[in-house]
């Protein structure tokens, strides 16, 4: 079959995999190839056990793989063949040198830019899909044009707004698709070509075109706003606990104001995930670079409250359990950074587990999808944590259960059965406010939600 367009995506991760699967699914006339340096990852994309868990993804892969969607490690061939190259490599926070702990580590995209330049034999459109600092396109252009090959590159920014766990729905019916380009004839042609792809399933009015810097910045700003809402609501949980106000009632009362809106107001143990913290720190670093210290301080506060919230949860457990956790067995319900994913990157559970270990608690972790990743995250405290698939099993002989991920299955468990097998007094710390607290209290548990008065039997 002769395909209308050839697209590749460099980076077969949480963004590249699902995004390209959706393009392939909606555009059967395009050939889409996803490439990665990680052989194991590509082998899993080509197997029945995909490297990431995402509801609905299996079906889309089954409908497209081998027809117009391909996964490969042959990056050079992919670059030669495709006209449109999405770059979806990781940009984690730097762990060394200048900007360590703040700035994004750009080594992966830089290598990619060089690889594209060295292998391209015809004109290409390069699409920034990963979240990059503003003006990354400028640096990329410098690299791409550093050797004169006669090949022309146009760069566009097309940030991805999907959230894990709802990626397929987010990709299928996005709130908006953003395409940023230069206002040059080549830039505008590249922009139109991108718009053409999305028009296969996204209404025109939802496709927003801007200048390239606005597009790069908008992604960082969107994540900063969402994270800021979570930190804002979390910042009031302590005040609620001290004043007998209830954060769920407050969030509802506030969120019903249509100017504020009700989403991203679920209080809890703090946000996790690969984006929020990294992107805010990247924004803070950028602001400081431009001498905007007040702006940087403001946004850094969002991350600080988030760190505080995690520590506060640990101290809450310690205080409630008579100021000592040594030798006590605590069962963690959930390790993923949110429900419906196996992803544990920046999960609050990582910090909370390590802190509880420092207090010499014995830990049992259960999660329907994230145990493999949890074991990797907790490699440095290997041997001190027990992993169990079954939550009932996990709770046996525990002094406390702490809910760290809002998996709906935890709402539906038989807590009478769980109470029976636990040590007494039995505690429940509901870090996501998802359980029926009155019912648990009536069973005999001492119940500690977030941002609500505790319910205790002593």
Is residue 18 a contact partner of residue 170, using CB atoms and an 8 Å limit? Answer: no
Per CB under 6 A, does 181 bind ligand UDX? no
Per CB under 6 A, does 22 bind ligand UDX? no
Is residue 94 a contact partner of residue 102, using CB atoms and an 8 Å limit? Answer: yes
Q: Which of residues 205-224 bind ligand ADP (CB under 6 A)?
A: none
Per CB under 6 A, does 333 bind ligand UDX? no
Q: Which residues of 61-89 are buried (b: 16+ CB within 10 A; e: fewer)?
A: beebbeebbbbbeebeebbebbebbbbbb
Q: Which of residues 247-266 bind ligand UDX (CB under 6 A)?
A: 264-266
Residue 348: its H or E element:
helix 348-358
How many Å separate Cα 141 from the centre of its chain? 28
| Residue 12 partner contact from ligand ADP, ligand UDX, none using kind-dependent CB cut-offs of 5 to 8 Å | ligand ADP
| Residue 32 partner contact from ligand ADP, ligand UDX, none using kind-dependent CB cut-offs of 5 to 8 Å | none
Is residue 293 a contact partner of residue 363, using CB atoms and an 8 Å limit? Answer: no
| Residue 51 partner contact from ligand UDX, ligand ADP, none using kind-dependent CB cut-offs of 5 to 8 Å | none
- Choose which of 7, 8, 9, 10 interacts with ligand ADP (CB under 6 A): 10
Per CB under 6 A, does 162 bind ligand UDX? yes
Q: What is the DSSP string of 171-212?
A: HHS-S-EEEEE-SSHHHHHHHHHHHHHHTTTS-GGGEEEEEH
CB of 315 to ligand ADP, least distance (A): 31
CB of 112 to ligand ADP, least distance (A): 5
Active-site residue flag, 331? no
How is residue 337 written in tokens? 């950074």
Rounded distance between C-alpha atoms, residue 164 and residue 27, angstroms: 23
| Residue 160 partner contact from ligand ADP, ligand UDX, none using kind-dependent CB cut-offs of 5 to 8 Å | ligand UDX
Per CB under 6 A, does 12 bind ligand ADP? yes
3-state secondary structure of 99: coil
CA dihedral 195, 198, 201, 202 (to 10 degrees): -70
- Choose which of 33, 90, 344, 446 interacts with ligand ADP (CB under 6 A): 90
Per CB under 6 A, does 228 bind ligand UDX? no
> Which residues are at the interface with ligand UDX (CB under 6 A)?
160-164, 223, 226, 230, 264-266, 268, 271-273, 275-276, 337-338
> Which residues are at the interface with ligand ADP (CB under 6 A)?
10-16, 36-38, 41, 75, 88-90, 108, 111-112, 130, 274
């Amino acid at each position: 079959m002769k395909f209308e367009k050839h697209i590749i995506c460099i980076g077969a991760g949480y963004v590249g995999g699902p995004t390209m699967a959706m393009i392939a699914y909606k555009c059967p006339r395009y050939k889409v190839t996803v490439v990665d340096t990680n052989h194991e990852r590509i082998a899993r994309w080509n197997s029945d056990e995909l490297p990431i868990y995402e509801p609905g993804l299996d079906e889309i892969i089954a409908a497209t793989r081998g027809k117009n969607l391909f996964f490969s490690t042959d990056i050079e061939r992919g670059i030669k063949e495709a006209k449109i190259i999405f770059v979806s490599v990781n940009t984690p926070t730097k762990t060394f040198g200048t900007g360590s702990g703040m700035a994004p580590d750009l080594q992966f995209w830089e290598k990619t830019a060089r690889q594209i330049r060295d292998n391209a034999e015809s004109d290409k459109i390069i699409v920034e899909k990963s979240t990059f600092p503003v003006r990354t396109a400028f640096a990329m252009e410098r690299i791409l044009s550093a050797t004169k090959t006669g090949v022309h590159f146009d760069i566009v920014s097309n940030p991805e707004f999907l959230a894990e766990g709802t990626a397929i729905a987010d990709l299928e019916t996005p709130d908006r698709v953003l395409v940023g380009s230069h206002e040059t004839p080549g830039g505008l042609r590249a922009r139109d070509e991108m718009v053409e792809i999305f028009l296969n399933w996204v209404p025109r009015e939802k496709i927003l075109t801007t200048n390239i810097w606005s597009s790069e910045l908008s992604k960082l700003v969107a994540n900063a706003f969402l994270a800021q809402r979570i930190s804002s609501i979390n910042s009031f949980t302590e005040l609620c606990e001290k004043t007998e106000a209830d954060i769920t009632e407050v969030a509802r009362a506030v969120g019903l104001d249509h100017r504020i809106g009700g989403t991203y107001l679920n209080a809890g143990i703090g946000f996790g995930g690969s984006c929020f913290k990294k992107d805010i720190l990247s924004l803070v670093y950028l602001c400081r670079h431009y001498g905007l210290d007040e702006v940087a301080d403001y946004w850094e506060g969002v991350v600080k409250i988030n760190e505080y919230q995690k520590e506060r949860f640990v101290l809450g457990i310690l205080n409630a359990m008579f100021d000592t956790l040594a030798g006590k067995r605590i069962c963690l319900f959930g390790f993923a950074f949110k429900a419906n994913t196996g992803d544990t990157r920046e999960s609050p559970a990582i910090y909370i587990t390590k802190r509880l270990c420092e207090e010499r608690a014995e830990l049992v972790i259960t999660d329907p999808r994230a145990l493999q990743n949890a074991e990797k995250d907790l490699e440095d405290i290997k041997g001190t944590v027990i992993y169990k698939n079954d939550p009932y099993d996990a709770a046996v002989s525990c002094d406390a259960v702490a809910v760290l991920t809002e998996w709906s299955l935890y709402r539906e468990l038989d807590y009478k059965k769980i109470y029976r097998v636990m040590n007494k007094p039995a505690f429940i710390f509901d870090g996501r406010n998802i359980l029926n607290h009155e019912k648990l209290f009536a069973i005999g548990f001492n119940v500690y939600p977030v941002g609500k008065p505790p319910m205790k039997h002593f």
